[in-house]
Amino acid sequence: MYIKIAFALCLLLTGCQGNSQEKKTAMTQDDQTEKKFEIVKTDAEWQKELTPMEYQVLRHAATENPFSSDLLENKKEGTYVCAGCGTELFKSDTKFKSGTGWPSFYKEIKGNVAYDVDYKIGYKRTEEHCATCGGHLGHVFEDGPEPTGLRHCVNGAALKFVPAKN
């Protein structure tokens, strides 16, 4: 009897490991490579230049409270740039209302956002950061609208908005 239970338990555990068929998107990066950024500053320099919230989000991967960003409801035409270095990250025409409480975009400005895998809360997520200074932006999820199917869920504190020039 015990042998049958042990065998059934082994089958169950083996079956639960299954092969995941996750989408392979452009948001993956080799974890083994050391990241080097164009803009490198000391911790003291970042603290001096950023607000306390910007510093916590950009340099320590903190998450601002949902619905707390002034940029959440911004509908103006322009570009969202990194609050740490000014790199252009997202265009306003890719912003959408996700209902999550954080500014959300379905597409980044190619080459200006970099990605890492993040297991900090116990499961795999794709973290995104500024490709120029390494500042933490937020995470990317595969539940966004067309045409990409991606939702870049970004901390408003990591962004500054630059209105379009008319």
pLDDT per residue over 86-129, tens digit each? Answer: 999 999 999 999 999 999 999 999 999 999 998 888 888 899 99
| pLDDT at 33 (0 to 100) | 42
pLDDT of 2 > 50? The answer is yes
Closest CA relative to residue 79, chosen from 92, 62, 93: 92
- Answer yes or no: is 50 within a domain: no
Per-residue pLDDT tens for 53-66? 999 999 999 999 99
Least confident of 20-34, 60-74, 106-120, 143-157: 20-34
Average pLDDT, the chain: 85
Q: Domain containing 165: what range?
A: 78-166
What's residue 35's pLDDT?
63
Q: Is the pLDDT confidence value at 132 over 70?
A: yes
**pLDDT at residue 104, rounded to an integer:** 98
Task: Give the span between the Cα atoms of 131 and 33, in whole angstroms.
Answer: 14
Q: With respect to residue 5, please indicate whether it lies within any of the assigned structural domains.
A: no
The answer to whether residue 163 sits within a structural domain is: yes
* 153 given a catalytic annotation: yes
Q: Is residue 38 part of a domain?
A: no
Q: Is residue 164 part of a domain?
A: yes
Structurally, the chain folds into a number of domains equal to 1
Confidence of residue 20 (pLDDT cuts 50, 70, 90): very low
Contacting residues for 158 by C-beta, under 8 A, at least 6 apart: 54, 57, 58, 82, 83, 84, 130, 135, 136, 137, 138
- What is the value of pTM for the model shown? 0.78
| 120 inside domain | yes
CB-based contact 158:51 (threshold 8 Å)? no
User: Does 29 fall in a domain?
Assistant: no
CATH code of the domain covering residue 148: 2.170.150.20
Query: Dihedral (C-alpha) 162, 68, 28, 13: value to the nearest 10 degrees?
Result: -170
Q: Is residue 33 part of a domain?
A: no
